[in-house]
Amino acid sequence: APITVRDLAEGLGKKPNELIGLLMTMNIFAAINQVLDVELVEKICERHGVVFVRERREKGRDRDRGGQPGQENRIPLSVRPHRKVGRPPVVVFMGHVDHGKTSLQDYIRHSHVTSGEAGGITQHIGASVATVGDQTITFLDTPGHEAFTAMRARGANATDIAVLVVAADDGVMPQTVEAINHAKAANLPIVVAMNKMDLPAANPDKVLLGLQQHGITPRDWGGETEVLPVSAHTGVGINELLEQILLEAEMLELNADPDAPFEGLVIEAQMETGMGPTAHVLVRNGTLKLNDAVICGQCYGRVRALIDSQGRRVQKASPSMPVKVMGLSSVPNAGDKILACANEREARVLAEEAMQAARQGNLSVERMVTLDDMFSLLAKEEKPELPIILKTDVRGSLEAITDCIAKLKSDRISAHILHSGVGEISENDVVLAAASKAVILGFHVRVMPGVNRFAKQKGVDVRLYSIIYELLQEVEKAMRGRLQPDI
């Protein structure tokens, strides 16, 4: 039913008159039976530390009852105290190929992950849970920073902390820089694991210098970032690395509400013989329980079994826990959100709606962000920054253009180079731009084959220049906003 002043007061445990008084202070003069706007209800609930649970109505049932059109949008109210409980951090390893991401995770799996039941096989579920003292850390399997950002582009932000792996003998390499920029674009705190310290060729100073040159100042040099010397071969420093991750997590004050409606993220999904569609799910909020009805993109179902990272069948999964879910109607996509529903019927209706929307192409159209409308978009933000990805032909021009862009002044918007590099514009650049709503500027470079079409699909503006002045002029114009007359 729609929410009246009376309903809300009851939900908040207040007298109706108290609420009416409160509303008056917000310049809203409402009667006791007046229906309140959903957004307003949400705002008031938030202020009072209660969660407002929207339960979608089943369309079918409304129709059977001869309900009015529009009635399906009515939202029954249920409010309850908001409970905040600390949750384990979710961590992802990033870094240059061969620097030891896999080896480090394998080492942690062997030393800090208790193996499954006697005779049981540790399940591969796209993530693992390491135990450190009485705390745990969830490690997402690393598919590379491209895949990480592709997930983020879909609004699937699952990670809390990035562990940047740098081999001490090799130092900061091109993919290390990419990983740094992807992690920064996602606003993730970075902990550096300086790996392969057992090698005679290990050169910590070279690593620290390389990090410094790419905007990461090590703690030993007066900066913010902890750099921990480790070895995946000998195990040296791994405990310290895990403890640092927990410390970092503590500062983030990560929490979730185990009583909230379940919300999770599909990390991987597949069809398995004898099991049907299975999805590896990371719980973001609430608790996923056996027999829960769920909707997941265009799939739906009832949870028939939950299997944890140690291969055990469990009854429920709490925030930050990865689990394998069985009982879905089909195989969802990685990055899909999975949500609890009131019942399987509601889940099916919502899945059918999603399917229909997808057929009509409603979901595939992504909003194009161009240099032209950047200003009006950014003007709404508090501290507006124009995010740019810059690719050039040679290092000299890259440095020159970066310097000039830094000097461009506007009282409203500053330009921010999210990622830059020498070379052609790649699919990777587009993925990062899409996730960060950035524009791509190329100077004397080509776009790799097929990437132009990909950029169009993703709604990313790619602009190519051969004259520095023209590039700068366009950036400056974007910063000042076309809408304003040039003075």
- Applying CB under 6 A, which residues contact ligand GDP? 95, 97-103, 195-196, 198-199, 231-233
462 is in an annotated binding site: no
Nearer to ligand GDP, 232 or 405 (CB): 232
95 is in an annotated binding site: yes
96 is in an annotated binding site: yes
Nearer to ligand GDP, 102 or 217 (CB): 102
422 is in an annotated binding site: no
CB of 231 to ligand GDP, least distance (A): 4
CB of 141 to ligand GDP, least distance (A): 11
- Please state, as a whole number, how many other Cβ atoms lie within 10 Å of the Cβ of residue 428: 20
CA distances from 304 to 68, 123, 288, 290, 333 (A): 36, 17, 12, 6, 19
144 is in an annotated binding site: yes
Nearer to ligand GDP, 100 or 421 (CB): 100
**Encoding tokens for residue 129?**
């849970």
CA-closest candidate to residue 379, choices 479, 467, 266: 479
Size (the chain), residues: 487
Nearer to ligand GDP, 1 or 97 (CB): 97
280 is in an annotated binding site: no
Tracing tokens 């039976």 back to the chain, one arrives at: 33
CB of 181 to ligand GDP, least distance (A): 18
Q: Is 152 helix (H, G, I), strand (E, B) or coil?
A: helix
97 is in an annotated binding site: yes
CB of 102 to ligand GDP, least distance (A): 3
**Encoding tokens for residue 304?**
């028939």
**On the CB side of 141, how many CA atoms lie within 13 Å of its CA?**
14
Phi-psi region of 231 (alpha: psi -120 to 50; beta: other; left: phi over 0): beta
Cα–Cα distance for residue pair 474/47, rounded to 1 Å: 43
CB of 135 to ligand GDP, least distance (A): 24
141 is in an annotated binding site: yes
Nearer to ligand GDP, 106 or 399 (CB): 106
CA-closest candidate to residue 291, choices 312, 272, 315, 310: 315
CA torsion through residues 434, 159, 123, 110, sign: positive
184 is in an annotated binding site: no
CB of 232 to ligand GDP, least distance (A): 4
**Contact between 405 and 415 (Cβ < 8 Å):** yes
Nearer to ligand GDP, 87 or 101 (CB): 101
**Contact between 302 and 224 (Cβ < 8 Å):** no
Nearer to ligand GDP, 141 or 268 (CB): 141
CA-closest candidate to residue 390, choices 431, 452, 433, 442: 442
CB of 191 to ligand GDP, least distance (A): 16
Which residue ranges are tagged as binding site for GTP?
95-102, 141-145, 195-198
Which residue ranges are tagged as binding site?
95-102, 141-145, 195-198
